[in-house]
Amino acid sequence: MSKRIAIIGSGTAGLQLAYSLRKDFDVTLLHYEEPEETRRGRIQSTQVHFHPTLQRERRFLMPDTNDAPSIQTIHFNVGTQKLFVGRLKGAASSVDQRLAYSTAMDDLRRQGLRFRNGRVSRNELASMAESYDLLIDATGKAGPLVPFPVEAGLTPFQTPQRKCIVGYFKGVSPVEPEGISITVMPGIGEMFEIPAITEQGRVTILFIEAVPDGLLDAFKGIKTPQDFAARMESVLQESFPEIYGRVDLDRFSLVDEVAFLQTAITPIVRRPYLMQSGTLVLGCGDSVILADPITGQGCNTASYCAEQLYETLLAHQESPWDEQVGIDYWNRARPYVTAVTEWTNAMTGPLPEHIGQMLMHAAADQETADRIVHWFEQPSTAHEAFFRR
């Protein structure tokens, strides 16, 4: 008989796990939002999936959104100075999670995957443990549901390092060649401009990472979409004149009433395995590896770990599922998680001098520009550049 797995949470981690595990195991996906609720809900991310993540999604036959803008480059600016345009090794894309998650859930349901609707509570886990061989906590930043121990060495902060301010807009002409544009404003934060696809068509995501209480932390108390759009317009005019120059003021508006978000994240890494009432519980995604989105890696890390979890379970298909399986999973994922976490945390502080020099050098050297941009596809190369000289 196939081993029984409960995946709790239907986000980036839970969905990729459901696609990968459904052939070899008896999988139930526990979720509390129906696809229609997700589709109509508030945005939660800017969700750039870099090439390795897209490859994993193809490997597990996840739905493709071919009409998403193909992100081939990253433009890098400091203040009003354009430094360079680096080329990614493979195309990336940003598909509105509301669209991607609801499409994948509908697809899995059509394919006969078992779903159970309802928010799983911490109290329920002991009784659930009796019915399954494995519980996977993929509850995102609302989680985790079990007390996975904190990895203190990878968890240096007690408070958020940035305020995250995001809107999906119409009426902004893309940068050329089309890609992501990053503008670093030393001491006050960053702006990320990302071409994306939503149910209503293409949009430009404007994502401010504001140092708390600095000049870009200018959205306090804003509640309505109209006020949000108006404030974004004035921030662009004051601090990002190049973007403002590409705004068509007659068309500039949020793509829908809930296409904006304000949040702040305290990064935290937890050891992603635990025995609960004799049953193994594994964590995957933000429930165990939660990072500030400054490097756009949360989905990519969730996808990487989901693949490692899948490989671990295949390797242990015939043996009992106990703590050793958790140890093997963490041993596989840990080097990547360490690299992405240490790099991401470093990006929220002042950039080291040698990285500043490398960015300046990239302005005159395409190979260096491409190497820097590749950090986002392969975080171990970023870690190497930052820490191993």
- Decide whether 34 or 322 has the Cβ nearer to ligand FAD: 34
Place of tokens 């209503």: 200
d(CA 173, CA 248): 8
Nearest distance in Å: CB 320, ligand FAD: 27
- Decide whether 81 or 181 has the Cβ nearer to ligand FAD: 181
Helices (H), the chain: 12-21, 35-40, 51-59, 97-110, 125-131, 225-239, 241-244, 298-315, 323-347, 353-362, 366-374, 379-387
Q: Is 138 in the site for ligand FAD (CB under 6 A)?
A: yes
Contact residue for ligand FAD among 171, 272, 283, 293 (CB under 6 A): 293
Maximum distance among all alpha carbons in the chain? 64
Residue of 197, 310, 319 lying closest to 259 (CA atoms): 197
Q: Is 196 in the site for ligand FAD (CB under 6 A)?
A: no
Q: Is 51 in the site for ligand FAD (CB under 6 A)?
A: no
Q: Is 181 in the site for ligand FAD (CB under 6 A)?
A: no
The answer to whether 389 and 352 have CB atoms below 8 angstroms apart is no
Q: Is 297 in the site for ligand FAD (CB under 6 A)?
A: yes
The answer to whether 216 and 185 have CB atoms below 8 angstroms apart is yes
**What 3-state class would DSSP assign to 140?**
helix
Contact residue for ligand FAD among 7, 11, 254, 358 (CB under 6 A): 11
Residue of 353, 341, 350, 348 lying closest to 382 (CA atoms): 341
Residue of 11, 7, 10, 50 lying closest to 300 (CA atoms): 50
Nearest distance in Å: CB 348, ligand FAD: 14
Chain residues 252-281 in contact with ligand FAD, contact rule CB under 6 A: 263
Which residues are within 8 A (CB) of 39 and not within 5 positions of it... i.e. 6 or more apart?
98, 99, 102, 199
Q: Is the dihedral of CA 67, 166, 336, 303 positive or negative?
A: negative
* Cis check: omega of the bond before 352, within 30 degrees of 0: no
Nearest distance in Å: CB 165, ligand FAD: 8
Q: Is 348 in the site for ligand FAD (CB under 6 A)?
A: no
Contact residue for ligand FAD among 35, 69, 86, 140 (CB under 6 A): 140
- Decide whether 63 or 352 has the Cβ nearer to ligand FAD: 63
d(CA 234, CA 339): 37
Nearest distance in Å: CB 67, ligand FAD: 19
d(CA 276, CA 255): 44
- Decide whether 106 or 352 has the Cβ nearer to ligand FAD: 106
Q: Is 69 in the site for ligand FAD (CB under 6 A)?
A: no
Alpha-carbon 178 to chain mean position? 21
Contact residue for ligand FAD among 164, 197, 294, 333 (CB under 6 A): 164
- Decide whether 9 or 179 has the Cβ nearer to ligand FAD: 9
Q: Is 144 in the site for ligand FAD (CB under 6 A)?
A: no
- Strand runs labelled E in 22-113: 26-31, 48-49, 71-78, 81-94
- Decide whether 262 or 368 has the Cβ nearer to ligand FAD: 262
Place of tokens 């990614």: 88
Q: Is 286 in the site for ligand FAD (CB under 6 A)?
A: yes
Q: Is 344 in the site for ligand FAD (CB under 6 A)?
A: no
- Decide whether 334 or 361 has the Cβ nearer to ligand FAD: 334
Nearest distance in Å: CB 361, ligand FAD: 26
The answer to whether 269 and 341 have CB atoms below 8 angstroms apart is yes
- Decide whether 14 or 195 has the Cβ nearer to ligand FAD: 14
Chain residues 12-41 in contact with ligand FAD, contact rule CB under 6 A: 12-14, 30-33
Q: Is 285 in the site for ligand FAD (CB under 6 A)?
A: yes
The size of the interface with ligand FAD (CB under 6 A), counted in residues, is: 35
Q: Do β-strands 179-185 and 189-198 pair in parallel, antiparallel, or remain unpaired?
A: antiparallel
- Could you say which DSSP state residue 193 is in? E
Residues that bind ligand FAD in the complex, under the rule CB under 6 A: 8-14, 30-33, 45-48, 119-120, 138-140, 142-143, 164, 166, 263, 285-287, 293, 296-300, 302
